[in-house]
Homo-oligomer: A and B are copies of this chain.
Amino acid sequence: MLAGNIRKLCAGAIIAAASCYVHADVPIDKITVLNLPPATPYRLYLSDMAISHFVDSKLMIIDGESLNVIGHVALGMTGHVTLTPDRSELLVSTAYMTKLNRGERIGQMDVYDATTLKLKAEISVPPKHSQSMPYRGKIRTSADGRLVMMQNSTPASSVTVVDRIAGKFVAEIATPGCWMIYVPQSVSDRFSTLCGDGTMLTVKLDAEGKPLERKKSAKFFDADDDALFTSGAQLDDSYTFVSFKGNVQTVNVAGDTAVAEAPWPLVTAAEAKAGWRPGGYQPVALHDKSGRIFVGMHPKGKEGSHKAPAKEIWAFDPASKKRIARVPGHHATVIAASRGDAPRVFAYSTDKSSLAVFDASGKLKHLKTAAPFGELATQLDVQ
């Protein structure tokens, strides 16, 4: 009787459905699993701490043209993610507790295929990764993609080095009083990190990835008076930072010691008086081809306003150090820019979970805004 009914029901799941198909206008589906579509220069990677359930943080992958979500990657407990230089893999610095919020803490680097989003490898590391908001600089690869550096905090600061090709943990390097990882593009044997005493520490690595030499730069900023945001925008061997009070500081990290250029102000004296300051979690972006930088700015800034969302986004020309555009800020706390031709600027608002898109080929031109994306996202990377 049961079998009889099933045949009448014409269920493709149970019996061959060829005779059935003729009765229906909608064909029977084959359920499949998709790969990501081919990447465009506007593919976005949004890192979401999901603060209310941060044992279960996540990466959202978004098509920056349609603003459709095209995939997710599980980041574990406050995971941090970076792309390999060839964009073939996503690397995640994370941890798992065996019973969700208790039990053993398992530290590892998860490796995901960037096309299938399947987990390819799990590399065991000391369970010390920084359980913190996503920022660029919490995990970085060397320029050649072989070594992976991951920021730890116990809360003492250290950096874990993994050999991605060998698939193994290499070293844990003490970086007391310093934070975040900055890697040059012309050499692959070192990383730098910003220190609370206003310097940068550069750690040179041996062939294996173990620490060989550590050198501190001269002091170039004052964390008390005018701290630098740690999220810097990279171009080749240099990182461009902005400071709480609105100065631009570019630092070259290719040498044995980091070399800071002379800082310059984003704000005029009048703007400084009106309290215009950078703010947010990723306040500055840089377009590689033009060198232009884009900064989320808020007025009436003061001590403690450094995470305020942007009232405006300002664009600057690097050669003239002049502002070339100012547009409404869409409450942005995270700014990112695409590479190469036809640049676009993406402005994500942590508070509103919204994403605004600008054409950045000339002056900034707002194209569209969509929401919601994520729960508490603070890092946005572009393909």
Contacts and interface: CB of A to CB of B under 8 A. Distances in A.
A100 B105 CA distance: 11
A106 interface: yes
Interface string A84-109: 00000000000010111111001000
- The interface centre, meaning the residue of A56, A99, A119 with most chain B CB atoms within 10 A of its CB, is A99
Contacts of A101: 56, 74
A50 interface: yes
B53 A100 contact: no
A106 B375 CA distance: 28
A184 interface: no
B99 A106 contact: yes
A119 B77 CA distance: 22
Interface string A227-266: 0000000000000000000000000000000000000000
Interface residues of A, number: 18
A172 to B, nearest CB: 22
A76 interface: yes
A52 B55 CA distance: 12
Interface in A36-83: 50, 52-53, 55-56, 74, 76-77
A204 to B, nearest CB: 30
Interface in A275-294: none
So how many copies of this chain end up in the complex?
2
Nearest to A108: B99
Contact of A100 (B50, B52, B76, B375): B76
Contact of A55 (B56, B98, B106): B56
Contacts of A99: 76, 96, 106
Contact of A56 (B53, B98, B103): B53
A365 B103 CA distance: 47
A380 B205 CA distance: 58
Contacts of A55: 53, 55-56, 100
Nearest to A102: B119
Contacts of A375: 52
Contacts of A56: 53, 55-56, 100-101
A269 B355 CA distance: 53
A13 B119 CA distance: 45
Contacts of A100: 55-56, 74, 76-77, 96, 100
Nearest to A50: B53
A102 B103 CA distance: 16
A103 B103 CA distance: 14
A233 B74 CA distance: 40
Contacts of A106: 98-99
Nearest to A122: B99
A53 B52 CA distance: 9
Nearest to A375: B52
- The interface centre, meaning the residue of A96, A100, A119, A375 with most chain B CB atoms within 10 A of its CB, is A100
A230 to B, nearest CB: 25
A48 to B, nearest CB: 11
21 contacts: A50-B53, A52-B53, A52-B375, A53-B55, A53-B56, A55-B55, A55-B56, A55-B100, A56-B56, A56-B101, A74-B100, A74-B101, A77-B100, A96-B98, A96-B99, A96-B100, A98-B98, A98-B106, A99-B106, A100-B100, A102-B119
10 cross-chain pairs, A with B, having the tightest CB-CB distances, nearest first: A53-B53, A96-B99, A53-B56, A98-B98, A96-B100, A74-B101, A55-B56, A56-B56, A76-B100, A56-B100
